[in-house]
Structures are given as C-alpha cells and as structure tokens.
Structure 1
Amino acid sequence: MTGAQPVILGDMPSLSKLYVNAAATAARRRILGTDAGTALPPCGHEVRGVKAQVGNLTAYQHLVGETASDVLPAGFIHALTFPVSMSVMNRDDFPLPLLGMVHLNNNVEQHEPVLFTEALDITSWAENLRGHRAGTQVDIVAEVRRTGEAQVRWKGTSTYLAKGVFLPGIDKPSVPATSTMFAAPDPTALWQLGVDTGRAYAAVSGDFNPIHLSVLSAKALGMRRSIAHGMYLASRALADVGAVKGDSFRWDVAFEAPVFLPARVALDISSVHAPAGAWQHSEYVAWNPRSGRRHFSGSVAAL
C-alpha cells in the first residue's frame, strides 16, 4: 500500500449501516451542493484479527458449487474483505458517490491457501482515479495477511465506475472503447437462476445492496428488475474451473451486461495445458442463451 498508514478500525464495518450512510451522504450533497473534491482519501482502512464463520463458509460453498473444504475460496475472501473496502468508499473525502457504482472488473491474486481457522488482517484503499468515457473509475484494492505477518496471501483489485460523474481535472478517454462481436460457443454449463438468487448470495456475503434483493428495491434505484451479484456469478464460474487451478493463481473477470433475475445463463470454460499435460490456464465466458448477449468473461491462470 502506498501513502499514509491505514486507519485501524476496531470492528468489521456493518454493510447495512454503510449503505444507509451512503444514501444520507448522497442526499446531503444534493441538497447542500457540496462535494468531496477530486482527490482520493490519503489513507486506507484496516481490520485486524478477522475470522470467517464456518456456517457462512459452508453456505457459500454450497451456493456457488465449491467443494466443502476448510480452505477459503477466493470469492469468499473477496466477500470477507468487502465491508472494509466499502468503508473506504464511504468516507466523507471519497470523491465519488458510493450508491450507483458499477462494478467493471475484478482481479485477484491468490498466493497461498487461507484456512477458515486463521485470524486475518484485512487492509483496503483506493487508487488510480481516472476518466472513463461514461464517467469516472477507480480501483479499490484489498489485501489479506495472516494476523501479525507481512506476507500478502490474497490481493484483490476491484474497478468501479461512477456513471455520469465527471470530475474536474480528470480527462476522459477521447476514443470510445470498441466492442468485438461475440459468437456464442457450445456451453459447458447452463445455470438456472431464481428470483431469490440475489437474496441467497446476500445472506452469505453480507452484501444487501437493494439492486440485488427484489424488483421493488431494484426499481427504486433505476433497475427494471433485481440483478445477480457480479461476484456471485464470477465465483460460480471459478468453482466450475475446479481444483485444477491449484493453490496459487490469478483470477480475472470483466463484467459487461447485468443478469436480470430470474435468468438462464450459459457458460463455457476452455482450458489450456502444457505439452506435458500440466494445466496452464482456463478461460470462461457467460452469456444470455436467448439473446446471445455476453454477461461476463475472464480467466484463471497459474501464478
């Protein structure tokens, strides 16, 4: 982490309170016409001695299709770090509105297995504020260490877009991003996602963002229906890659189109092996089997 030492939080932040505070902050800024400036917070946040709850872990593994194990899946660790990252985005000096943020990408480096019995230190901060053709984007970085140790076991970088927010002094790209035509392959899996998928993932991740919970709460935030959590979808794809990825890997995902619930999602996973037969990496893509529209794509590669 660069910059000042992180602020040490006494407890894991409550996501529900963070969402309420974010709504209040947004209303206050609209009424008073105030803003948080154009610079990122000078420091991050840290929570020490965090331990996963075995009940939550078991429910998560069952929900996304992970094998039962005492090793924390990479997606579960993301959920564990998420409240700390949210607390950084909820600071008064964070320049972008938290509510309405769009998750564009997620990149994870899993260096070593993390066991559910281990106490962990979680640190998160914001960096790389930059323009986007549709607004302003920022990276939120989270690192996980065994409590009292310096070595990073897991690192995740989530890129978010504040759509329609253009900060002064931050240029947006002059050339729009180009999209390539997507030709859907034969799927290796078909997922049937019920209308309660968002609520089920919220129960194990703690992410009760209203856009995922019901039609009414999603419509209140401008969505036509509730949508599946991006990290639920990505974590399910990672589970489908399976144990071939080993204990040390890089996991990337790019989100393109939301999955409105209920839904059917087609998934294709292709793996590349070395001449000797050893696994090198897997690529995956998910799409709407009716419209052919791509929802997300990514890869998992050995570190």
Structure 2
Amino acid sequence: MNRREVRLDAVPGLVGLYATALRRQLVARRSRQGEPLELPAVEHAVDGVTADPDRLVAYQRLMGDTVRDTLPSVFVHGMAFPVAMSVLAAEDFPLPLLGMVHLGNEVEHRRAVGAEEELAVRAWAEGLRPHHAGTAFDVVCEASVSGVVVWRGVSTYLAKGVWAGARPERTERAEPSAAARTRTGVWRLGAETGRAYAAVLGDYNPIHLGLLPAKALGLKSHIAHGMFLAGRALAATAPNDGGYRWSIGFEAPVFLPASVQFGVRESGDATLFEGWSAASSRRHFSGSVRPLR
C-alpha cells in the first residue's frame, strides 16, 4: 500500500495527544457514527530520536533489569510510542483512542541498539479486522539507524463496541492447569505502579494512573500498563546482546495493587513466560522470546 508520509518536527508529547484524543472523542467523532471504517493510508515519521540517559537508567531499575548502555526492547517501544499515538490521535483516524484495549505485541529486536544511537522512527496503522468484541487493528512501528531497521514492533489493539463488519464468534483461549505452571517469581505491584511507569516513559493514559480516572473510562480500577508487564517479563528472559524476537498476548488486566505469579520455562529454542493472578489463578499474559537466526 502507498502511504502518505507526515513528517513530524519532533517526538510529540503523549499528554497532549491524549488530551486531543479525548476532545475529539467527545465532539468530532459523533459525526462519524454509521460511516464505513477505513484506516488512513498515512505514516508518521520523525528523525533524531535519542534515549534520555537518566530515563534509561530509571527504566532499567524499575524493571529490575541490568543497567547497561544498550536499549531494552520495551524502552525502544516507549521511544517510538508517541509517534504511533500521533497516528491514532489524528483527525483522520476513525476509531476512538481512549478506552482501547491492548491485545498484544510481536517485536523483532534485530540487533543490540546502543544508548547513544540516533533513531529514525515511523509508524502506521493497518490490518483492520472484526473481533467478537469490536474491531481490531495493528500499529506498526519501525526504528532505523542510518536507513537500516534495527527494531520493528507490531502492537495489536481493540476498539470495543465498534464493529467494522459482522461480529465473529468468540474463541475461548485454553487456560493451562495450575499443575502445568512453574512459578519462578512473584511480582508485588503497588497502586503507584502505573504512575511510576508513566514517569519514566511518559505514557500518562488515565486508565493506568489512579482509581478515579480509570472509573471515568469504564474500569473498576486502574490497571498496569501492558508494556510494563512486558518489560518486567523481558528483564528476566531476553538476551542483552544480539537479536531476538519476542511476543506477548494480554488476556486479563492487572488491577492495581496486585500480586502476579510469574513463570518461565524453556521449549526448544524458545523461552516461554506467563503471568497469572495469585488470587484467582487467571492468566494475565503469556509470551515467548526466541533468538533471531
């Protein structure tokens, strides 16, 4: 597909993007009810993206990761995330940004990325498709150094209650039995977890910040960022050098505060991980890490 490029002067601020999205959801999007859904053929791009060294160290410490001068994969995601959000907050994007459900990620971290390297980031949306609870789609982000893609991430989102076509049947995921799980750790996540992640990577989505803003958007309480959970999992499983591919799927939100059981096991060339509720045994997420060949 030929996409029109929108060049950004700088990485946009997420707080401003969320404010823009809220304003447009309350006013402009009402006029789109009943219109066919179609993703814009556009990509947003910005050059000269560099890591803030203090935020990098703060991120590594928040995740319990090794403090080093190469970028963790979720930190790269955080650097690229505002560019992706600028696509979703734009006037021509047909789905509501606030209240979207994050379903999962597929990422290629193609080589170790140095903390001082300058990245060119581009992002676009594709793959609009029906889901039993609404409409799903993908946001693709690429980070390049000197014209070579070093990191590529595909994030899948769900706009609940908005249908692009017929509603498909719900497919239930199989829950592993408790006996099949091997616990390797316990994450005790306080009520401030979402605010701590936002302070490092700037993602101040209201559903992660506190009880009242989360309730205003239809949740019973605030929840942990999906990418916080991914970052914690990768801190325990991803290699610190070389390329790798990782994925994560989110199944149930982690309402804060929470105690999350975490398990890791090896399967062939893959390291598999999952997290589940200490109270109910319901799985919150599962994923894998594999070396790139």
Q: Give me the whole-angstrom Cα distance separating, in 1, the residues matched to 2:30 and 2:94.
A: 17
Please give the secondary structure, in 2, of the residue aligned with 1:68.
coil
1:112-136 deviation line (CA, Å, top 9, x unaligned): 1111111110000001111101100
Q: Does 1:151 pair with 2:148?
A: yes
Taking the aligned partners of 1:283 and 1:192, their CA distance within structure 2 comes to 21
Q: Which residue number corresponds to residue 248 of structure 1?
A: 243
Q: In the alignment, which of 198, 201, 208 is matched to residue 197 of structure 2?
A: 201
Q: What do the CA deviations read for 1:141-191 (whole angstroms, capped 9, x no partner)?
A: 000001xx2221000000000000013xx3443x32122133132310001
Residue 234 in structure 1 maps to residue 223 in structure 2? no
The answer on 1:127 being equivalent to 2:115 is: no
Q: Offset of 1:62 from its aligned partner? A: 0.3
Paired residues for 1:1-303 under 5 Å: 2-29=1-28, 32=31, 37-146=36-145, 149-167=146-164, 170-173=165-168, 175-184=169-178, 185-243=181-239, 246-272=241-267, 280-303=269-292
Query: Residue 219 of structure 2 aligns to a residue in which SS?
Result: coil
CA contact (8 A) 1:198 1:228 kept: yes
Distance 1:113 1:28 in 2: 44
Q: For the Cα contact (< 8 Å) 2:206–2:214, is it kept in 1?
A: yes
Q: TM-score, normalised by structure 1?
A: 0.92
8 Å contact from structure 1 (residues 36, 95) kept in 2? no
SS in 2 for 1:6: strand
| CA drift at 1:222 | 1.1
> Which residue identity does 2:261 align to in structure 1?
A
1:70/1:246 Cα in 2 relative to 1: closer, same or farther (>3 Å)? closer
Identity over aligned residues, as a percent? 47
Give SS of 2:229's match.
helix
Equivalent pairs counted in the alignment come to: 290
Q: SS at 2:40's partner residue?
A: coil
Instruction: Give the gaps of 5 or more residues in structure 2.
Output: none
Cα separation, 2, equivalents of 1:281 and 1:30? 43
Deviations 1:222-281 (A, max 9, x none): 1111100010001100101153x74211110000000000000000000245xxxxxx22
- Structure 1 stretches (4+) deviating beyond 2 angstroms? 29-37, 170-173
SS of match in other structure, 1:26: helix
SS at match of 1:88: helix
Residues 1:77 and 1:35: Cα distance change in structure 2 (over 3 Å):
farther
Contact 1:129 1:136 in 2 (8 A): yes
Tell me the secondary structure at the aligned position of residue 27 of structure 2: helix
Map Cα deviations across residues 37-89 of structure 1 (whole Å, 9 max, x no partner): 52111111001011110001000000011101110000100111100000001
Take 1:55 and 1:36, find their aligned partners in 2: how far apart are those partners?
46
In 1, distance between residues paired with 2:30 and 2:131?
Answer: 26
Structure 1 residues 43 and 32 mapped into 2: Cα distance closer, same or farther (>3 Å)?
closer
In structure 1, runs of 5+ residues without a counterpart are: 274-279
**Structure 1 range deviating more: 209-218 or 182-191:** 182-191
